[in-house]
Amino acid sequence: MKFTATQTEAEVVITHEDVDRAHDRVRVSDARARRGFSSNARLLWLLAGPGVLVMLGENDGPSMLSYAATGARFGIGFFLPFVVVTFGMAIVVQEMTVRLGAATHRGHAELIFERFGPFWGWFSMIDLGIGNFLTLITEFIAIRAGLGFFGVPAWAAVLIAFVVLYAALMSHRYWTWERITLAAALFNLIFIPVALMTHPNWHSVGHAFATWKPLPGFNKDTLLILLADIGATVTPWMLFFQQSATVDKGMTTKDIRFGRIDTVLGAALASAAAVATIIATAPLFAHQMTTGNYEAAEFAQALEPIIGHFGASLFALGMVEAGIVAAITISTSSAYAFGEVARKPHSLNLPVGEGKSFYAVLTLCAVVAAAIVLIPGLPLVYVVLIVNVVAVLAMPPALVFLYMLVNDKEIMGDLVSPPWANILSGGVVLTLTAAGILFGISIIAPNIFAALGGK
């Protein structure tokens, strides 16, 4: 339904999307008009969402499998503090998207299109689409494998994922979609009780954080896990999703402080789940087991003798949750980007009739990815590790666009990045670029690693 009002020279069209977003903003204004702790807590409740979703959404199927492979292959020494640092990098990057979205009210792909032209706009959208599609395949792998632990057939596992995805979508309200997805995302913390069931040596865990042991060897396999863990934390879809979600939520420059809190809170929750996953699978390292012995949900099977059937079931359910939440957020990210570049309606506040292209892109991505997963014989663990590495290699170009936009005074005004933020973001870009170069060297000239002591 549309309402029109005529001003002096132009026609203003108020859409269903505008009306829904206005209702949400009224609640924010009411909370902001009050004072005290309770009003600030209510403001955080109303404004939190994009940051927690993007961080827990990035704790997806391939990410949790990467962390599981890390614990099983290397134990806890080097990688516990390393993973926490990668989430610190994610906070630096995602904070910039909050400021961009709140200041410009434009999605990431839309801003690239407007500031750098159609070529780079479509380039960024297609690059994101390819990466998202590959990642979606791994999300359905995680769902299929996790439910496979309980004897659920592959086709039924995919069907369950679609039911959950569309249960959130059919509300046609960003707020409702966000809350349903957040509730699902919080189940990512299920890896914490799983880690506790392994009865970890807390002195060793504390020692790992306090001393940060050196990297255990330097070879192609170690580098693959290293890059996969970086790709499990910082990926291009996160930039597009959080900025577009900030816009869809209707956040303004007054909300940036709460957007930052939302992002830090999300990173804290996600890093706790990631660390817990490494701790949970570390006993497999102590029992001289390697990831070559099993794939995907077989991590749960390998853990069963150590933590029992209930604990293994929780681990498998955690993999299912990770895949479902990421399938929802990543497919939405692709739909946002397509709508922004193609100048089509793109909002979760839209009914299907007004957002046909938005929902069509979202559905098509999910359906094709799920169909590929039903093909037998996929090398599951290797596929998810490679997808995370691809995400690392694709990140530097995306960060360059983000860096340029957030320092564009014409669109950011006083909200351009301060020098300290530019130093931090520049360090993130250099780190990710160096990681990509190292991986390329390991593929092209593996003998260099042998000369350095690698195997």
Under 8 Å between Cβ of 226 and 215: yes
Burial class of residue 438, CB neighbours in 10 A (0-12, 13-18, 19+): middle
Question: What does the pLDDT read at residue 191?
Answer: 93
Cβ atoms within 10 Å of 14's Cβ, excluding its own: 13
Residue 401, pLDDT above cutoff 90? no
Whether the CA torsion 244, 250, 253, 256 is positive or negative: it is negative
Residue 411, pLDDT above cutoff 70? yes
Distance CA 47, CA 49 (A): 6
Question: What does the pLDDT read at residue 282?
Answer: 86
Residue 13 is inside which H or E element, if any? strand 11-14
Q: Could you report the per-residue pLDDT of 348-395, keeping only the tens digit for each?
A: 777 777 778 888 888 888 888 888 877 777 666 666 666 666 666 677
320: its two tokens: 């299912």
Q: Name, in order, each residue with C-beta under 8 angstroms of 357's C-beta and a sequence gap of 6 or more.
A: 338, 339, 342, 344, 345, 346
**Residue 124 C-alpha from the chain's centroid:** 18
Q: Could you report the per-residue pLDDT of 440-452, keeping only the tens digit for each?
A: 566 556 666 555 5
Question: What does the pLDDT read at residue 9?
Answer: 45
Under 8 Å between Cβ of 368 and 133: yes
Whether the CA torsion 378, 380, 383, 387 is positive or negative: it is positive
Distance CA 133, CA 144 (A): 17
- Output DSSP code: residue 76: S
Residue 11, pLDDT above cutoff 90? no
Model confidence at 7, pLDDT cuts 50, 70, 90, reads very low
Q: Could you report the per-residue pLDDT of 230-289, keeping only the tens digit for each?
A: 877 878 888 888 998 888 888 888 889 999 999 999 999 999 999 999 999 888 876 555
Directed axis angle between helix 380-406 and helix 236-249, to 10°?
60
Q: What is the CATH number of domain 48-451?
A: 1.20.1740.10
Model confidence at 408, pLDDT cuts 50, 70, 90, reads confident
Question: What does the pLDDT read at residue 392?
Answer: 64
Distance CA 179, CA 185 (A): 10
Question: What does the pLDDT read at residue 324?
Answer: 87
Distance CA 417, CA 396 (A): 18
* H, E, C per residue of 311-348: HHHHHHHHHHHHHHHHHHHHHHHHHHHHHHHHCCCCCC
Task: Enumerate the domain spans of the chain.
Answer: 48-451
Residue 84, pLDDT above cutoff 80? yes
**% of the chain at pLDDT higher than 90:** 11
Phi, psi of 202 (to 5 degrees): -65, -25
427: its two tokens: 């360090």
Q: Could you report the per-residue pLDDT of 200-218, keeping only the tens digit for each?
A: 888 888 988 888 888 776 6
Distance CA 45, CA 48 (A): 5
Q: Could you report the per-residue pLDDT of 147-200, keeping only the tens digit for each?
A: 888 888 888 888 888 888 777 677 667 778 888 888 888 888 999 999 999 988
Question: What does the pLDDT read at residue 6?
Answer: 43
- Output DSSP code: residue 1: -
Residue 290, pLDDT above cutoff 60? no
Question: What does the pLDDT read at residue 10?
Answer: 47
Task: Identify the residue with better confidence: 114 or 389.
Answer: 114
Distance CA 400, CA 419 (A): 16
Reported residue count of the chain is 455
Distance CA 398, CA 405 (A): 11
Question: What does the pLDDT read at residue 153?
Answer: 87
Question: What does the pLDDT read at residue 268?
Answer: 95
Distance CA 131, CA 391 (A): 7
Q: What average pLDDT does this structure show over 118-137?
A: 81
- The C-alpha angle 297, 235, 313, rounded to 5 degrees, equals 20
Under 8 Å between Cβ of 369 and 140: yes
